[in-house]
Amino acid sequence: MVIHPDPAVLYPDVTAHGSLGAALRAAADGLLDSVPVTASHSGPLLEARVGCTLPHREPLQVSAWRHERRWSVRGTDSFTGMALLDGTSDDLAEVAEAARAWHDGVALSDLRRAAPFVHLTGRLEVPDLDPARLTEGEWQHLRTEASELEQPWQPAYQALVEAAHAEPALRGLYPFTSHWALRFSVTTRPRLSVVGPVLVAHDVDRYTVAETMASKGFAQFATAPEAVAAAVRQLPSGLSPVALGR
């Protein structure tokens, strides 16, 4: 059983202000005076949310780490619920800078200038909910994620994602992963409609393609392009363009 330090020990300044929301305002030195900042009822010292002027953005989530003094931020899209940005910092004033930029609707590409610690997930902001753009953004996210992984199987996984993206029949589908298995849908999040096979990268010379996650039978291939080609052959014919998963 992991026993975390008392939040009052890690965050005496936050405790003195009564909540993370109040401490964030204080650290902002006036920057958040006109911005809606709320603390969590269940964990006021550890969680806060900062509102946004853009309806397609959820409030920025600010969370305190429990085992060391550090804060995480997460900004999500209001339709899919997926992260557009995240990041960690040990400077609450820096977190406040990010929160103000998020609230003001600063473009993602410019937000990192206000708060360099912020990490962009690769997803696109799509206020008009164009399913083609949501699909493009999800592919961009998967490619970004694959390039940044720090795992022994990262090269194989990245090769699989890139090979799948290079194939027009798969690039036109909405991609997602389950336990690092690459899958596809004919609708966007939040309501996926799964289609086609499951692709898994094991190492640089072993890839598998199966009909479903629970399939006992699967085909094995030595390269990512071979696995992708096999997956394309298993796609149903006459697939429609990706639609919104309402």
Do 235 and 158 reside in the same domain of the chain? Answer: yes
Q: What is the DSSP string of 73-108?
A: EEEEBTTT--EEEEEEES-HHHHHHHHHHHHHT--H
Please give the pLDDT value at position 34. 92
Peptide bond before residue 225 is cis, with ω within 30 degrees of 0: no
The end-to-end CA distance of the chain, in Å, is 40
Based on the fold, state whether residues 232 and 144 are members of the same structural domain: yes
Mean pLDDT of 47-62: 98
Average pLDDT of 88-113?
A: 96
> Per-residue pLDDT for 75 more than 90?
yes
**For 137-164, what is the mean pLDDT?**
97
More confident residue, 129 or 213: 129
- Check if the beta carbon of residue 60 is closer than 8 Å to that of residue 71: no
Q: Are 177 and 212 contained in the same domain?
A: yes
Three-state DSSP at 218 gives strand
Q: What is the pLDDT of residue 2?
A: 62
Total residue length of the chain? 246
Higher per-residue pLDDT: 112 or 229: 229
- 70 and 16 part of one domain: yes
The pTM of this model reads 0.92
Question: 182 and 149: one domain?
Answer: yes
Percent over 70 (pLDDT), the chain? 99
Does the pLDDT of residue 61 top 90, yes or no?
yes
Query: Does residue 70 contact residue 88 with C-beta atoms inside 8 Å?
Result: yes
Residue 29 included in any domain: yes
Q: Are residues 241 and 140 in the same domain?
A: yes
Q: Which of 205, 210, 204 is nearest to 179 (CA)?
A: 210
What is the overall mean pLDDT for the chain? 95
pLDDT at 1: 62
Domain boundary among 120, 151, 169: 120
Average the pLDDT over 128-147 and give the result.
Answer: 98
What's the domain range around 50? Answer: 7-120
Does the pLDDT value for residue 215 go beyond 80? no
Residue 176 is predicted with a pLDDT of 98
pLDDT at 4: 74
Please report the pLDDT score of residue 18 as a whole number: 96
Closest CA to 190 of 238, 142, 240, 138: 138
Same domain as 147, residue 238:
yes
Total count of domains within the chain: 2
